[in-house]
């Protein structure tokens, strides 16, 4: 990559890590500077010679709600500390995969690729990535030590370590509600689907903002409708995952049988409930068409009373960045906790697993040792604090205190920490989050802690590599699932055609690809589960 691409994010869909900080005073061994020798036999005379030139390293990642600036003093300091020269390309989150697919097809990728959880599995067999197994102990001891062994094991591919895992909390999404609207209408926090429906009707028809206009909706979105619907699905004991995309929905295991959610009785029951909300006109009519940035603006303007999204959307995107309380004085968002219960008392949210992302190093990288030393520095306490909080004395004074005005301005403008989602230290994130005296972090914690405490439903195939059948049929099956979900909810197709939908789903490849996944599951886990259809 010959240049640095700077693109402003359209939406932060990824969590700003709970603490965005690390503890001071590392007791870890200092990592050798990138581009220098790791040999302990280096002579004293060599120390007096000129320092080696910084190692040039190219990196590609989703913008993750950040902006790259060439004059960023924080990234300049990281380059100095690690003795590297970074060439960073950032694409918008919602456009990253398509852009990366083009690069991968050409075989011309940067030295480091920051990918979604298990997306690397789509590209490994093309020979794009380097097997890191023989390098980690020598060039990245801190990086290897600071990530749990099970994370490394989970991200192996055919017994080899092609990627570096990025650990994160499995609970990410939080259903939130306008607490001030509940108070204004003398309502209690809903605890089940019946109460939830009544609250949404009141938010839509009882003028919760007291402006005398019929301009509010009970349910809206700020990113995707699949997020907003998740607590409803959870109330029926399932978590479909991201609806749409390139892979079919999740599956669950019960009585040694794997059940695909997209054609399950629980999924149908959840759709029936959502259709009832649509028919009652308590759902924003733009739910399936509005763009994410427009949806955020609608929420910030006080037009919706409930949504579900990444934990950071309400406290950070709406309140801090979009200044919602200046637009709507008195606006207050609360997590719905515990999660809504369904007819059988079930409740829960989607588990994102503890692999939030991965880093892959190009098999064509000229200096993998320097790359790993750079990443190793980012994994130390010093490196992590620097890439999350900035320059001490300039952007912050203490990791448990509010940022300085300059640091807060840089953070709000989204350019302070563009590399903070490269290397994870969940141990430090949790530690700093719990001890922080920063009122902004204290407010964030209400949502972070709620997300972590829900019952979390995880896809039975989490971490199982893509099969050829999944690659072939997955996009068409996923597209069909999404199309029919919208048609069923909006009434464009009656639910009386459910059996027809299931049959078509099977014929489009749903049954074939699930059979291949079950086979792969049994091979890797030495199991004997069967597909229930």
pLDDT at 158: 86
pLDDT at 48: 54
Token pair, residue 80, equals: 């100095």
- Within 10 angstroms of residue 213's Cβ, the number of other Cβ atoms is 8
DSSP annotation of 346 reads: -
Low-confidence ranges of the chain (pLDDT < 50): 1-47
Strand-strand pairing, 55-62 and 84-91? parallel
Q: Give the bridge partners for 176, in sequence order.
A: 307, 335
Strand-strand pairing, 333-335 and 173-178? antiparallel
Please state, in angstroms and as integers, the Cα–Cα distance from residue 528 to each residue in 93, 256, 257, 517, following that order: 38, 8, 9, 12
3-state secondary structure at position 266: helix
Can you say whether the dihedral through the CA atoms of 358, 364, 367, 368 is positive or negative?
positive
- CB-CB contact of 66 with 316 (8 Å): no
Interval 65-74: pLDDT, tens: 899 999 999 9
Strand-strand pairing, 112-116 and 257-260? unpaired
Interval 205-237: pLDDT, tens: 999 999 999 999 999 999 999 999 999 999 999
3-state secondary structure at position 60: strand
- CB-CB contact of 387 with 419 (8 Å): yes
Rounded distance between C-alpha atoms, residue 5 and residue 19, angstroms? 28
Strand-strand pairing, 304-310 and 217-219? parallel
Q: Supply the Cα-derived Rg of the chain in whole angstroms.
A: 24
3-state secondary structure at position 351: strand
pLDDT at 241: 87
Rounded distance between C-alpha atoms, residue 468 and residue 474, angstroms? 10
pLDDT at 328: 97
């Amino acid at each position: 990559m010959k240049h640095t691409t700077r693109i402003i994010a359209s939406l932060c869909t990824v969590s700003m890590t709970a603490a965005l900080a690390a503890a001071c005073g590392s007791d870890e061994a200092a990592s050798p500077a990138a581009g220098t020798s790791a040999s302990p036999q280096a002579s004293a005379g060599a120390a007096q010679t000129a320092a080696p030139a910084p190692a040039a390293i190219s990196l590609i990642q989703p913008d993750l709600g950040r902006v790259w600036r060439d004059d960023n003093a924080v990234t300049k300091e990281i380059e100095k500390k690690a003795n590297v020269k970074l060439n960073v390309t950032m694409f918008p989150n919602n456009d990253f995969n398509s852009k990366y697919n083009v690069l991968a097809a050409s075989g011309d990728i940067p030295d480091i690729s920051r990918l979604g959880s298990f997306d690397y599995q789509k590209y490994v067999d093309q020979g794009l990535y380097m097997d890191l197994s023989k390098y980690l102990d020598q060039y990245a001891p801190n990086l290897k030590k600071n990530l749990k062994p099970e994370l490394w094991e989970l991200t192996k591919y055919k017994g080899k370590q092609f990627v570096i895992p990025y650990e994160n909390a499995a609970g990410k999404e939080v259903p939130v509600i306008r607490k001030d609207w509940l108070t204004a209408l003398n309502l209690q926090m809903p605890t089940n689907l019946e109460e939830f429906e009544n609250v949404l009707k009141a938010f839509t028809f009882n003028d919760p903002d007291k402006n005398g206009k019929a301009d509010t909706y009970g349910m809206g979105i700020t990113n995707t409708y699949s997020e907003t619907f998740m607590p409803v699905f959870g109330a029926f004991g399932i978590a479909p995952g991201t609806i749409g995309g390139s892979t079919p929905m999740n599956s669950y295991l019960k009585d040694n049988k794997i059940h695909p959610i997209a054609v399950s009785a629980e999924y149908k029951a959840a759709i029936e409930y959502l259709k009832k909300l649509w028919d009652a006109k308590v759902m924003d009519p733009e739910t399936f068409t509005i763009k994410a940035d427009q949806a955020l603006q609608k929420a910030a303007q006080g037009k919706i009373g409930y949504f579900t999204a990444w934990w950071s959307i309400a406290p950070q995107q709406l309140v801090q960045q979009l200044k919602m309380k200046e637009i709507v004085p008195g606006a207050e968002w609360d997590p719905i906790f515990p999660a809504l219960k369904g007819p059988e008392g079930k409740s829960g949210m989607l588990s994102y697993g503890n692999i939030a992302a991965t880093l892959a190093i190009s098999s064509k990288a000229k200096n993998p040792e320097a790359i790993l030393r750079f990443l190793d520095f980012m994994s130390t306490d010093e490196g992590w604090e620097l890439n999350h909080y900035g320059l001490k004395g300039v952007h912050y004074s203490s990791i448990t205190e509010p940022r300085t005005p300059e640091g807060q301005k840089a953070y709000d403008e989204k350019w302070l920490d563009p590399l903070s989602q490269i290397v994870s230290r969940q141990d430090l994130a949790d530690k700093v989050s719990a001890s922080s005296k920063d009122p902004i972090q204290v407010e964030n914690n209400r949502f972070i802690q709620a997300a972590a405490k829900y019952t979390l439903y995880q896809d039975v195939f989490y971490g199982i590599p893509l099969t050829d059948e999944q690659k072939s049929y997955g996009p068409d099956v996923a597209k069909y699932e999404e199309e029919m979900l919208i048609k069923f909810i909006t009434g464009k197709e009656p639910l009386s055609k459910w059996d027809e939908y299931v049959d078509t789903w099977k014929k489009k490849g749903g049954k074939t690809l699930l059979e291949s996944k079950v086979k792969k599951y049994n091979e890797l886990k030495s199991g004997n589960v069967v597909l229930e259809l």
